[in-house]
């Protein structure tokens, strides 16, 4: 977790070298004004801000010398009122652009204590760079302070630190090259990192997976020289009110298997373990926050490779819950590993199951790269939507049309994993497939509250950084999951 000192304070610091004050700029070019602030800006009064290159364009930033070696960073605050998410974005843009300072002071308007911590959270999220844990790339930044009259409790500040650190750790795992991060090494990272934490970890190797009838994970992993793993992580606080189960797709590299992907579509498939990284870091964040909610996370880890031992199209496999699947497309592998994970989670009869997966290219086609899709039972979808809204994350409710189930009919098994020759509603069809593995038994007892998050469009940002989203792995929906858990602990 980051060691940067974080605070919200009303105390104006003494100006000195190494510190920067971030001030908001609004207005038209000929009439730029500084947003209400508290530090002394007399030295700026005589200056033509427009001539200095300052602008109200959201996130634009210029530096102007202040007193005693301190620096003013004038950041464009746009033309609308600063809400929680725009404060996160300004915090992030400033942190990204103000490399090299020891102390950053945000002097932006904040209406309440939540505004103040959003700026902190944004700064931590925006300051992320891949590999920053390496010593050589160490940043000089020692403290971030938000100047505000609103008093913010220590635990609220710590919550921001925990959330941002967890998102950044998801990013770090996902950005790791696939020759370094594979099922066994991922499982070892989990075992090592959680040694002193308030969670227990069970790692199922191939033998245990066979004994436990995890036929989906085994079938996907059997083409790889690197065997699959299922990692189960449990957080069981004494005063738990509810039980949340999280299931993550953890394909450490997706070649497509025998239904191999074309070269251009294969690049980037190291991101296919984002769901597992997300449910891993989410449970650690929930445990660090000591929320009174029981959580069980399942990381379904496999490498999808083509080889002489790989699963073939037309193979019939058996999932943990006893249902058989005819594999028609080995590239639709995520739903096979999730089927095992959802079956196992259902056995615990939790109050809510959420799965997270970079499941379908169709998600990106339908919703683009900023909205994650959510499907599932009405109550679970509402809980996710509310939590996402609260976190400033974008999700969009998509349907699970019952009539689509017939497209997965096959003569040789209970269900097929894909519809060959049709891409219609690909994201929805994947959700319809998953639904078959939610609920405890083959006969299907009660309706288990369940939400499926398809983050194939949002997990990776191929373009330039924006807001608090860096290039590469985004760490999307982690904050939403933690917010769901917070909702369940009230
Ligand atoms: N991992 C991919 C989905 C994906 C695509 C994620 C692009 C991120 C970016 C998944 O395993 C896959 O290949 N899905 C197939 C399903 C199809 C064969 C039914 C797809 O989307 O084409
Ligand atoms: Zn695939
Ligand atoms: Zn995949």
Mark whether 322 and 463 lie in a shared domain: yes
pLDDT, mean of residues 204-213: 98
pLDDT of residue 444: 52
> Model confidence over 263-298: pLDDT tens digits?
999 999 999 999 999 999 999 999 999 999 999 999
Residue 118 CA to residue 274 CA, distance in Å, equals 24
Could you identify the atom of ligand 1 that is nearest to the CA of residue 360?
21
pLDDT of residue 137 exceeding 80: no
Q: Based on the domain organization, do 145 and 184 belong to the same domain? A: no
The reply to whether 182 and 72 lie within a common domain is no
Q: Within 6 Å (CB) of ligand 1, which residues are found?
A: 254, 272, 329, 331-334, 358, 360-362, 418, 426, 456
The reply to whether 158 falls in a domain is: no
pLDDT of residue 442: 47
316 close to 325: Cβ distance less than 8 angstroms: yes
Same domain, 285 and 397: yes
**Active site annotation includes 238:** no
Distance (angstroms) between ligand 3 centre and the Cα of 376 equals 20
Q: In terms of domains, do 174 and 148 share one?
A: no
Statement to judge: residues 210 and 137 lie in one domain: no
Q: Identify the CATH number of the domain in which residue 468 sits.
A: 3.40.630.10
- Decide if pLDDT at 441 tops 50: no
CATH code of the domain in which 117 resides: 3.40.220.10
What total number of domains does the chain contain? 2
Known active-site residue 261: yes
Model confidence at 443, in pLDDT bands (50, 70, 90)? low
Cα gap 195→338, rounded to integer Å: 26
Does a structural domain hold residue 426?
Answer: yes
Compute and round to an integer the Cα radius of gyration of the chain: 24
pLDDT tens column, 338-356: 999 999 999 999 999 999 9
Q: Are 244 and 374 in the same domain?
A: yes
CB 372 within 8 A of CB 401: no
For residues 303 and 257, give the distance between their C-alpha atoms in angstroms, rounded to a whole number. Answer: 9
Closest atom of ligand 1 relative to the 269 alpha carbon: 1
Instruction: From 126, 152, 178, give the residue that closes a domain.
Output: 152
Sign (positive/negative) of CA torsion 213, 242, 433, 276? negative
> Is residue 157 assigned to a domain?
no
Which atom of ligand 1 is the closest one to the Cα of 359? 3
The answer to whether the CB of 43 falls within 8 A of the CB of 67 is yes
- Rounded to two decimals, what is the model's pTM? 0.97
Domain identity same for 449 and 469 = yes
Q: Which domain holds residue 483?
A: 163-488
Question: Are 119 and 167 within one domain?
Answer: no
């Amino acid at each position: 977790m980051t060691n940067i000192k974080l605070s919200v304070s009303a105390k104006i610091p003494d100006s000195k070298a190494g510190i920067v004050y971030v001030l908001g700029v609004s207005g038209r070019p000929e009439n730029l004004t500084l947003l209400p602030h508290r530090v002394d800006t007399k030295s700026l009064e005589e200056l033509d801000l427009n001539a200095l290159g300052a602008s109200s364009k959201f996130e634009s930033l210029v530096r102007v010398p202040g007193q005693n070696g301190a620096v003013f960073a004038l950041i464009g605050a746009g033309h609308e009122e600063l809400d929680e998410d725009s404060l996160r974005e300004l915090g992030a843009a400033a942190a990204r652009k103000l490399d090299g300072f020891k102390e950053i002071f945000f002097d932006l308007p904040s209406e309440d204590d939540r505004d103040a911590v959003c700026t902190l959270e944004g700064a931590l999220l925006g300051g992320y760079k891949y590999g920053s844990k390496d010593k050589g790339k160490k940043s000089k930044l020692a403290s971030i302070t938000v100047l505000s009259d609103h008093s913010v409790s220590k635990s609220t500040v710590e919550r921001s630190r925990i959330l941002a650190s967890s998102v950044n750790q998801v990013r770090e795992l996902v950005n790791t090259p696939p020759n370094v991060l594979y099922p066994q090494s991922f499982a070892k990272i989990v075992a090592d990192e959680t040694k002193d934490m308030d969670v227990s970890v069970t790692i199922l190797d191939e033998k245990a997976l066979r004994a436990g009838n995890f036929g989906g994970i085994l079938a996907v992993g059997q083409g790889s020289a690197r065997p699959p793993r299922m990692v189960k992580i449990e957080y069981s606080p004494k005063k738990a009110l509810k039980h949340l189960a999280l299931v993550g797709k953890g394909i450490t590299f997706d070649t497509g298997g025998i239904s191999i992907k074309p070269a251009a579509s294969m690049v980037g498939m190291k991101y296919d373990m984002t769901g597992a990284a997300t449910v891993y870091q989410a449970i650690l964040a929930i445990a660090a926050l000591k929320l009174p909610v029981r959580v069980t996370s399942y990381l379904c880890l496999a490498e999808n490779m083509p080889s002489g031992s790989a699963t073939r199209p037309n193979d019939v496999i058996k999932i943990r819950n006893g249902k058989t699947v005819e594999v028609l497309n080995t590239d639709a592998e995520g739903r096979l590993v999730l089927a095992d994970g959802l079956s196992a989670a259902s056995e615990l009869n939790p109050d809510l199951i959420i799965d997270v997966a970079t499941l379908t290219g169709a998600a990106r086609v339908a919703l683009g790269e900023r909205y994650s899709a959510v499907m599932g039972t009405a109550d679970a979808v509402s809980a996710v939507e509310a939590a996402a809204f609260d976190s400033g994350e974008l999700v969009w409710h998509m349907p699970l049309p019952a009539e689509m189930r017939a497209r997965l009919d096959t003569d040789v098994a209970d269900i097929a994993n894909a519809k060959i020759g049709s891409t219609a509603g690909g994201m929805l069809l994947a959700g319809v497939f998953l639904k078959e593995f939610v609920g405890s038994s083959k006969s299907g007892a009660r309706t288990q509250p369940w939400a499926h998050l398809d983050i194939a469009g949002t997990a990776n940002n191929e373009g330039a950084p924006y807001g608090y989203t860096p290039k590469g792995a985004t760490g999307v929906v982690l904050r939403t999951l933690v917010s769901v858990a917070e909702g369940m602990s009230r």
